[in-house]
Chains A and B, each alone.
Chain A
Amino acid sequence: MSDIADKVKKIVVEHLGVDESKVTPDASFIDDLGADSLDTVELVMAFEEAFSVEIPEDAAEKIATVKDAIDYIEKQKAA
């Protein structure tokens, strides 16, 4: 796994208080990890802070799974 993926996973574990083993790439924040809408906003803000990226509202809405988050951040970092 990339550094970004590791860091994303760590943030998810920290913010949602879920077991690390549950944070698989396909895990949905809401359906699998028990997040509510406020959690997802907080997660996006945590990603923004940790990676120094800006995630606009329309992009944030599309981030539903762990993999979505990793892909988005990797793309921003590569650009």
Chain B
Amino acid sequence: MFSLTGKTALVTGASGGIGAAIARQLHAQGATVVLSGTREAALQELADGLGERAHIAVANLSDPAEADGLVAKAEAVAGTPLDILVNNAGLTRDTLAIRMKDSDWSQVMTVDLESPFRLARAALKGMLRRRAGRIISIASVVGTTGNAGQANYAAAKAGIVGMSKSLAQEAGPRGVTVNVVAPGFIETPMTDVLPETVREKLVGSIPLGRMGNTGDVASAVVYLASDEAAWVTGTTLHVNGGMAMV
């Protein structure tokens, strides 16, 4: 089940906690992985750790030209066409709306919403022709529930869902699926710094009684990338321990 042998996957934001876990699990299932991000050293270290079938493609997704060119770059370093695109890269610029600067809004939109579109557009051209492909974008529970201080991020993540449903309808007739994984609270360096009382309250709101880990998210990506998920498209798989049952 869930073998990805012979498949090539591009993972953006692969130097981050969730992105690295996704890359590792795809690789463990047999995929050739292309790790993308802005930090070359971190990517190279991850690739070295994985060994064979791991390549890196540095790109800054806040630059539209680099986003447009990344799929071709990934295919060049892997030496094969792309079967799986994982739009994982993202950033936050959290602040209450009344204090939110134009640049806080636009940076999040560019990296979290526009670059996934640019990558999907580039990947689809080949996938449609080959009558196969998987596009999986990492959104967030806050795209569905909203979150104070994250108007920009929540809007971008909700946008990912609408975009993916549209692409799923366009690409469906060619056997290409487009889906979303929406994580809840995941243990990462970002959440490690939360005060203990905040963490306790957070965990208390999660029926499964713990924060998620990066592997929980990666497993959902592996499923959607697999042949076994061939009849699943346009959907959002919520991975949040039951915190929001939507």
Task: State the majority secondary structure of interface residues on B.
Answer: helix
Are A38's CB and B129's CB within 8 A?
A: no
How many A residues face the partner with a CB closer than 8 A?
4
Cβ-defined contact, A42 with B173, below 8 A: no
In the complex, whether A36 has a CB less than 8 A from a CB of chain B is yes
Q: Say yes or no for A45: interface residue by CB 8 A criterion.
A: yes
Complex CA gap A27/B170 in Å reads 25
- Complex alpha-carbon distance, A77 and B226, angstroms: 45
Q: Would you call A38 and B170 a contact (CB within 8 A)?
A: yes
The interface residues of chain B lying within 8 Å CB-to-CB of A38 are 128, 170, 173-174
On chain B, the residues within 8 Å of A42 by CB distance are 128-129
Asked whether, in the complex, the Cβ of B173 is within 8 Å of the Cβ of A45, the reply is no
Interface of A is mostly: helix
B125 and A36: CB pair below 8 A? no
The interface residues of chain B lying within 8 Å CB-to-CB of A45 are 125
A40 CB to closest chain B CB (Å) equals 12
Question: Separation in Å of the B185 CB from the closest CB of chain A?
Answer: 39
Which residues of A from 30 to 79 have beta carbons under 8 Å from B?
36, 38, 42, 45
Complex formed: what's the CA distance from A45 to B170 in Å?
Answer: 16
Which residue of chain A lies nearest to B129 when distances are taken between CB atoms in the complex?
Answer: A42
Smallest CB separation, B93 vs chain A (Å): 35
Give B84-124 as 1s and 0s: 1 = Cβ < 8 Å from A's Cβ atoms.
00000000000000000000000000000000000000000
Q: Which residues of B contact A36 (CB under 8 A)?
A: 173
A-chain residues with CB within 8 Å of residue B125 when the two chains form the complex: 45
Residues of A close to B174: CB separation below 8 A: 38
- How distant is A19 from chain B, measured CB to nearest CB, in Å? 20
**Across chains A and B, which 5 residue pairs bring their CB atoms closest together, nearest first?**
A38-B173, A42-B128, A36-B173, A38-B128, A38-B174
> B residues near A, CB below 8 A?
125, 128-129, 170, 173-174
A-B contact pairs, 8 of them (CB 8 A): A36-B173, A38-B128, A38-B170, A38-B173, A38-B174, A42-B128, A42-B129, A45-B125
